[in-house]
Amino acid sequence: MNPARTITVLLIAAIALVFSGCQKKTAETPDFGKTENSVYRNEFFGMTMTIPKGWSTPDDAGRRKVFDEHVKKTGNEENRIVADNIQTFNMLMAFKYPKGEPILVNPNIVILAESVLDSPEITRGKDYLLLMKNYLPTDRLPMSISDEITTEAFGGKPFDLLEVKIAGPNLVMKQNFYSTIFKGYALNVTVTYVSEQDEATLNEILQSITFN
């Protein structure tokens, strides 16, 4: 089992479980977007983001396969909610290295949107992230979660940030959860990395985000 891929699935599942099973209103459905010439575009959110050349970007079938493989290996059916929940849209996974590379942590960026129409108390990303903290798998992973939620701007939109660190035998993996509320959805961007070099690369990707 690829540790980085497994952890990515667990933490994305935490996001998708925040409102699963409690949605009644139906938001306008976003598109999953597409990546061409190293640029990801999503028409619904009017969003673009530049991905470094050579990075692996699984299509919809490939993204679902990531979850299905994890469910098969762990028997954790809880995570299938991510793939099957029609209120949650796993729009992009981008990995620095292709699947099968002999590395412990594959730096990646994930974009996921979840409807919040039935949750009027969720007015900004911070509100969403505070709820999400309750679903992080602290019982399964040696993680530390930042007490403070800060704010950064990408493409002119404020994204609130929750930082998580997961300690391993020989490394500390970092995962940053960014969230903003837009068009009835929590638009979430998550980056995973270990080295400062990969952090810098991921920050460049984040800074390339634009909105119409």
> By the 8 A CB rule, do 52 and 166 touch?
no
Statement: the pTM of the whole predicted model exceeds 0.85: no
The predicted pLDDT at position 180 comes to 97
The predicted pLDDT at position 118 comes to 85
Closest CA to 76 of 1, 176, 162: 1
Domains of the chain: 3-211 (3.40.1000.10)
Closest CA to 150 of 166, 165, 138, 163: 163
**Tens digits of residue pLDDT in 64-92:** 555 455 445 444 444 444 444 457 788 99
The predicted pLDDT at position 29 comes to 84
> Running along the chain, 212 residues long, what does each successive block of 10 average in pLDDT?
46 53 61 93 97 87 50 46 59 90 89 90 94 83 91 98 90 94 95 96 98 96
Rounded Cα distance, 26 and 136, in Å = 26
Q: Name the residue type at position 46.
A: G
Collapsed DSSP state (helix, strand, coil) of residue 166: strand
The predicted pLDDT at position 84 comes to 46
The predicted pLDDT at position 4 comes to 46
Q: What sign for the dihedral angle of Cα 111, 117, 122, 124?
A: positive
Maximum CA extent, the chain: 46
Query: What is the Cα 17 distance to its own chain's centre?
Result: 13
Residue 1, both tokens: 């089992």
Rounded Cα distance, 161 and 105, in Å = 21
The predicted pLDDT at position 159 comes to 98
The H-or-E segment that residue 209 falls in is: none
Residue whose token pair is 């919040």: 116
The predicted pLDDT at position 137 comes to 79
Residue 186, both tokens: 């929590």
